[in-house]
Amino acid sequence: MASPRFTLLYALLLCLPSRAECQETSRWLIQQQRGSLTVYSEFPVDLDHIEAQLQSVSDQLQNQLGIEGSDQAIELVLFRSQSNYHKYLAEKLPEALERRAVFFRNDDVSQIYVWNSRWLMVDLRHEITHVRLHQHLPFLPLWIDEGLAEYFETNADEHGASSRREAVLWKSRLGFPPRLEHLEQLNAATVMQGDDYRNSWAWISFLLHHNTATRDLLRSYLEEIHSGGVPGPFSSYAAEQITGFSGLANSYFRKMHFRLIFD
């Protein structure tokens, strides 16, 4: 059962404009439901474009990793400014205040909160990745959760030009490649630093782009979790299935090619 704080938040979001007792509804310029997606927005948005971007991420997750879509409810809450975002969440979800966007699971409803910055679409793609992963899986390692969200927040043709790629290349060539064992020790987003997000992205990039074996390795790991298994640390899981796994990864990080290997 949701905590009282989040039960109240859920009730506020579901109030209709005709109910005078709800004090929050007048703020929404747009309130529209499209299938399982409900959008609340303080500013004009192109809902067709947003819906297409969210669907694109869902399709890629399913095609590449077997993460199935869901008809569970999703609420997308868009604020026109950072100050409005902060005011709305200050008492209801204060842990979100340092983020441009946040995903929260309220029973069977997945809620995304974001403010209208120049990174709006990036943030929406990032958070819908979290939504789809948590709808499909009972749990997953933090570095995979964040690494996939970082990866899918941009379109495929943008990965090669990412500043993260340049940082990974430079550090790896100096003998400091991303360390999977370090990422596996992280157990809360609050302890993750910028380097940890970048390195999680790098490991996901390696798994998806090195070859079909590494892509299928990640896919099988997630499938085992989906089926109720507990496969243990990914580093150990990978070492048992691919000879010289760490060496392959380190070699990849010194090049960071984003070739397409998807079926």
**CB-based burial, 172-196: b 16+ in 10 Å, e otherwise:** beeeebbebeebbebeeeeebeeeb
**pLDDT at 142 exceeding the cut of 50:** yes
Structural domain boundaries of the chain?
4-136, 142-253
Average pLDDT for the chain: 88
pLDDT score, position 59:
96
pLDDT score, position 155:
87
**pLDDT at 17 exceeding the cut of 60:** no
Strands 101-106, 109-115: pairing is antiparallel
Tokens found for residue 87:
């005011």
d(CA 106, CA 259): 38
What's the mean pLDDT in 68-86? 95
Report the interhelical angle of 212-226 vs 47-65 (nearest 10°): 100
Beta bridge partners of 173: none
Confidence of residue 24 (pLDDT cuts 50, 70, 90): low
pLDDT score, position 92:
80
Confidence of residue 238 (pLDDT cuts 50, 70, 90): very high
Q: What is the 3-state secondary structure (H, E, C) of 104-173?
A: EEECCEEEEEEECCCCHHHHHHHHHHHHHHHHHCCCCCHHHHHHHHHHHCCCHHHHHHCHHHHHHHHHHH
Model pTM score: 0.88
d(CA 108, CA 65): 23
pLDDT score, position 160:
75
What is the Cα 18 distance to its own chain's centre? 35
d(CA 104, CA 122): 17
Q: Which of the pair, 1 or 190, is modelled with greater confidence? A: 190
Confidence of residue 12 (pLDDT cuts 50, 70, 90): very low
pLDDT score, position 4:
28
What's the mean pLDDT in 90-112? 88
pLDDT score, position 158:
84
pLDDT score, position 18:
32
**pLDDT at 118 exceeding the cut of 70:** yes
Confidence of residue 226 (pLDDT cuts 50, 70, 90): very high
**204-225 tens-digit pLDDT:** 999 999 999 999 999 999 999 9
Class of the CATH domain delimited by 4-136: alpha beta
**pLDDT at 86 exceeding the cut of 50:** yes
Residue showing tokens 């703020």? 27
d(CA 27, CA 40): 9
